[in-house]
Structure 1
Amino acid sequence: MSPDNAATVALVTLVALLAGTPAFAAAATATTATISADGTSEGLANDSAPVRVASIYPNPVPEGDAGEFVVLEAASPTALGNYSITDGEDVIELPNHTVDGRVALATAPNLTRNRTDARILRLNRGLALANGGDRVTLLREGDPVETVAYADAPEGEVATPSSDGVTWRPVGATSFPVVNASNRGVEAFVLPDDRSVPVETLASADERILLAGYTLTSERVREELLAANRRGVTVQVLVDGSPVGGLTRRSAETLDALVASGVNVTTLSGDPGRYEFHHAKYAVVDDRALVTTENWKAAGTGGRSSRGWGAVVESDRIVSALAATFRADTRGLDAQPWRRFRSGEEFDPAETPPANGSFPKRVNPERFSPERVELLRAPDNAEGRLLTLLRNADDSIRIEQVSIGSRNQPFLRAAIDAARRGVEVKILLSGAWYAREENRELIDWLDELATREDVPLEARIADPNGRFKKIHAKGVIVDGEQVLLGSMNWNNHSARENREVALLLEGEGVGEYFGEVFRADWRGGDWRLPVSVLVAVVLGALGALVVARRFEFEG
């Protein structure tokens, strides 16, 4: 018998043995759970109930399974005095507390605090949840409200039930919704044209800086963080502990300097890991949120190499949500203080020198008041929101990316489908050495598809023409007025495994701003000034010529 079938038989046997108990018999009339052929479990959530089971953590990392918990979610303030939970053997009466939102039922709150963002409600005793499979039933006055079943609980992962079944995610992984705000101030900028915005935003901090990134090596950013710390600003930094190729000596020296001055630095590289990479690039500065496509290094926010997009948003809702993201990510089991992470580590000294390119400033930052601003986070909600954006396009889609994961990548397929229904699609990809060959192959395939199907789809590799070195932006413009920018690349790994952060800005002004940048990058060597600017230049030149002729005549 295969292990999968054995697990199925074992769980079915467990269900049969429990069937005679009163609690289990009552539960049979609640939401049902079935065992699929591959041994996984499916729980049907009762979304209409005032209180429901939001998640279960049956197999904690510590030995002895210490730290199990069950999270309930109340749709409105609800007293739990008439509720209980059972695994078919023990029935645990819940304390008579009024709850609103999410609450974690736990017997060991000290082991639960950094595993969930829910309020913790201590129980005198809890369920003994089996790692190999079990059922949890929520009861109200003895009647079943909801039953959730699972099989073969992975260590350190949380089960979340829904109508589609149970989904396992690492403990501490978030499930944030899309957050939106209306008519809020936004400062848009592009790199390398204006590298002042990221640094000046940090320099303006009075109370707090929460800086999150993939890597941090920029000397200018480091100095601004140190200066902020000296003037009493609370400074915290969060970076990935295991970027591709490993942390370099330059990274280690930067983080060492920050920690030595009292800055709180956290790395994500522990076990169990919630994300493959912490790839987000953002900062919360007082009551503003800065989100960019670029890393905190000379090539990125230093303006020394990459084409990047960014925005600074003034919105309490967006700022609060981004700060909550930072707090959640710094409190997981995989989060380690830099000093602890660094102990015994060796860092590669053989690294290329920082980028030091110099590029013209042709696009200045501008301020807008978009009709709508949305904060997206991966893996929580960004993939679904971007697919919806692409599927709802009516007129045009402009895509500026480093590369695209594959021909079957969902974002690309949605863009192709849009072209098939008449939406004009243009895709601009990077010509960097590490992506050029695969980008050329994809472009050839897209060109053949566009010709064969006669659809309005074009793709090309960017020709920077001295305005930047390579594309590192991850930007999309839909219908000329919806702009998505952030850290999420167009591949499934980025959307589903990494921590990514992006902004969706909706408004004609901000759409025109980034649209002009895209048009210039698309033309590449054929750089053209906007008509208004060109007219001003011509008139200025004519005026100068008249003055010059006048001087010549009078002389």
Structure 2
Amino acid sequence: MSPRSAVLAALVLFAAGIPALAASAPATSGPAPPAESTRPPAPANATPPTFAAVYPNPVPDGDAGEFVVLDAAEPTRLGNYTLSDGEDTVALPNVTVEGRVALTTAPNLTRTRTDAEIVALDQGLALANTGDRVTLARGGESVAELTYTDAPEGELATPNGDGVAWQPVGATEFPVVAATGESARAFVLPDGGSVPAETLADAEKRILLAGYTLTSERIRAELVAANRRGVEVRVLADGSPVGGLTRRSARMFDSLTERGIDVTVLSGAPARYEFHHAKYAVVDDRALVTTENWKAAGTGGHASRGWGAVVSADRIVAALNRTFHADASGLDARSWPQFRAGKRFEPADGPPANETYPNTVDPRRFSPDSVELLRAPDNAERRLVTLLRNADESVRIQQVSIGSRRQPFLRATVAAARRGVDVQILLAGAWYVEEDNRELVDWLNDLAAREGIPLSARVADPNGRFEKIHAKGVIVDDEQVLVGSLNWNNHSARQNREVAVLLEGEGVAGYFADVFRADWQGGDWRLPAGVVLAVALAALAAVLVGRRFEFEG
């Protein structure tokens, strides 16, 4: 397959939701030059190409696979140009190109690291890892330059103003995807602990489950059952979570792969993300996005206060499908059998969570006005800061913790309070964050008192309704609500793979706002009279039946 054919094939697969990297051509001794008959003739005075990227420090020994990416705005004959690093000068092949092309002496390695068209060089530059100036010249005169210093291993340098920006090779640059509202089922945990498993149980064609960890026996059972009835089931998880991968997780992945289910973990080089921290599933034509891990304490409903939504919007589902395939096909992705060979895993912290909590908040269906898909590190930080800056009336925040007083999300929130927006911040009281959270809460409340701004903060009192807050939620003006895995720290926003949905509509935002207000009141919370009656009747029925219902055994 020629490079041009490979690009066309990649475009076809991209339209089907499969990333271009999956469309790599098979290994050959080198790509054939682009066919001149398929290109318009290059004008003699064509606009010179510009530098799009350089890849000077590949992971393989000997820096095999270095490449330079040029961007040709119009048909351009490369034979008129040379590349130089100040020591060596390389004449470019006499072929006509347009768009992005990667110049390399190792086409088979390069085509797995970029979607640009591959152009093979007989001789390449020895780009220095410590820094270099790469020059593109025509007729002996420089037409473009790119300078970099201290190249990180496995990262790509792209022009960024006067310098360059580094990002792992293969990292995505997905935009925010917006769709008109179709249907959404909102739920909170631990109350709605049955929703994630029920959603998987309804699958008829596919389940693409992505998470940080997976240890829930109930979720495993639903994946196995779906696989048995012919559903395509794939799992993507982090291979190196904080504290290491546990034996419980290893047994879970062993069990799935033994039954023919594809399990992929992200834990290789070059790593695109510090952690694969997203928590979502593509189930047929629905997208389930939650704040919770796939474990008993989270989606099992046995501990954490979490938020979630099941969204039916074709554009959102298609975008999550592309996200899953892009992440599962990167250079840092390993099949579970390949990854686990020869490894020892960490003992679990203890038995799975198995507490039960009152079901006071039922899942509800809504037709939101719109839905947006946010992904980190691609676009989530910018979109969330914009959301907070545009708040007019209120901002309600429910988080595990906040990274620092100068974290951009918190700074945008304080700025909103200073312009008169009513702000409430509710943080977790779990032992591992309580001290820091109380210190931040005191600082925020003191700041509000000094400046006379409408801002208040609290550490949550679960009052027996849940064990701890694990939600990462934001409600703006009681009209927009953000639900997903994005923590309020720079590491999460800039280095992790995170996924969240922004739902707009008074109904769905009001649903989460009511839950927030209840959690905010904590020990002083009282249910509305009608709800109290319903809960009392339900309790009486449970006593009469003499059975105890639990979400997960």
Report the TM-score when normalising by structure 1.
0.81
The DSSP-based 3-state class of the residue aligned with 2:475 is strand
Q: 8 Å contact 2:189–2:299 — kept in the other structure?
A: yes
Residue equivalent to 1:251: 249
> Is 2:90 aligned against 1:90?
yes
| Cα distance change on mapping 1:235 and 1:139 into 2, 3 Å | farther
With 61-70 and 375-384 compared, the bigger mean Cα shift is at 61-70
Q: 8 Å contact 2:78–2:97 — kept in the other structure?
A: no
- Residue 461 of structure 1 and its aligned partner are, at CA, apart by 1.2
The DSSP-based 3-state class of the residue aligned with 1:160 is strand
Q: Deviations over 1:457-505 (max 9, x none)?
A: 1111111122111100000011111111111111111111211111111
Q: Deviations over 1:279-317 (max 9, x none)?
A: 111111222211110000000000111111111222222
Residue equivalent to 1:128: 125
- How much is the aligned-residue C-alpha RMSD, in angstroms? 2.7
Q: Deviations over 1:163-193 (max 9, x none)?
A: 2520111222222221111223222111111
1:11-90 alignment to 2 at 5 Å? 52-72=50-70, 79-81=75-77, 86-88=82-84, 89-90=89-90
Q: Quick one: which amino acid aligns to residue 436 of structure 2? A: E
Q: Deviations over 1:499-545 (max 9, x none)?
A: 111111122111111111111111112333357x459869x9xxxxx
Report the TM-score when normalising by structure 2.
0.82
Q: Deviations over 1:200-253 (max 9, x none)?
A: 221222222211111000001111111122222222111111111111111110
> Is 2:429 aligned against 1:431?
yes
Q: Deviations over 1:241-276 (max 9, x none)?
A: 111111111111000001111111111122232221
Instruction: Tell me how far apart the structure 1 counterparts of residues 79 and 527 of structure 2 sit (CA, whole Å).
Output: 68
Q: Quick one: which amino acid aligns to residue 167 of structure 1? A: A
Residue equivalent to 1:295: 293
Residue equivalent to 1:322: 320
1:176-325 alignment to 2 at 5 Å? 176-325=174-323
Q: Deviations over 1:133-184 (max 9, x none)?
A: 3444567999976432223322211001122520111222222221111223
Q: Deviations over 1:24-46 (max 9, x none)?
A: xxxxxxxxxxxxxxxxxxxxxxx
- Residue 127 of structure 1 and its aligned partner are, at CA, apart by 3.9
Residue equivalent to 2:165: 167
Residue equivalent to 2:479: 481
Q: 8 Å contact 2:178–2:315 — kept in the other structure?
A: yes
Q: 8 Å contact 1:55–1:70 — kept in the other structure?
A: yes
- Residue 123 of structure 1 and its aligned partner are, at CA, apart by 2.5
- Residue 107 of structure 1 and its aligned partner are, at CA, apart by 4.4
Residue equivalent to 1:459: 457
Q: Quick one: which amino acid aligns to residue 342 of structure 1? A: R
Query: Structure 1: any 5+ residue segments left out of the alignment?
Result: 1-48, 541-555
Residue equivalent to 2:20: none
Instruction: Tell me how far apart the structure 2 counterparts of residues 344 and 171 of structure 1 sit (CA, whole Å).
Output: 27
Residue equivalent to 2:393: 395
Q: 8 Å contact 1:393–1:478 — kept in the other structure?
A: yes
Q: Quick one: which amino acid aligns to residue 92 of structure 1? A: L
Q: Deviations over 1:431-458 (max 9, x none)?
A: 1111111111111111111111111011
| Cα distance change on mapping 1:386 and 1:276 into 2, 3 Å | same
Residue equivalent to 2:502: 504
Query: Structure 2: any 5+ residue segments left out of the alignment?
Result: 1-46, 538-553
- Residue 424 of structure 1 and its aligned partner are, at CA, apart by 0.5
With 213-222 and 325-334 compared, the bigger mean Cα shift is at 325-334
Q: 8 Å contact 1:360–1:467 — kept in the other structure?
A: yes
The DSSP-based 3-state class of the residue aligned with 2:171 is coil
Instruction: Tell me how far apart the structure 1 counterparts of residues 387 and 216 of structure 2 sit (CA, whole Å).
Output: 34
| Cα distance change on mapping 1:303 and 1:535 into 2, 3 Å | closer
Instruction: Tell me how far apart the structure 2 counterparts of residues 182 and 387 of structure 1 sit (CA, whole Å).
Output: 22
| Cα distance change on mapping 1:103 and 1:466 into 2, 3 Å | farther
| Cα distance change on mapping 1:81 and 1:492 into 2, 3 Å | same
Q: 8 Å contact 1:83–1:139 — kept in the other structure?
A: no
**Equivalent residue for 2:356, pick from 355, 358, 361:** 358
Residue equivalent to 1:372: 370
| Cα distance change on mapping 1:357 and 1:493 into 2, 3 Å | same
- Residue 113 of structure 1 and its aligned partner are, at CA, apart by 4.0
- Residue 69 of structure 1 and its aligned partner are, at CA, apart by 2.8
With 88-97 and 326-335 compared, the bigger mean Cα shift is at 88-97
| Cα distance change on mapping 1:142 and 1:374 into 2, 3 Å | farther
Q: 8 Å contact 1:87–1:134 — kept in the other structure?
A: no
Instruction: Tell me how far apart the structure 2 counterparts of residues 486 and 250 of structure 1 sit (CA, whole Å).
Output: 25
Q: 8 Å contact 2:148–2:163 — kept in the other structure?
A: no
Q: Quick one: which amino acid aligns to residue 91 of structure 2? A: V
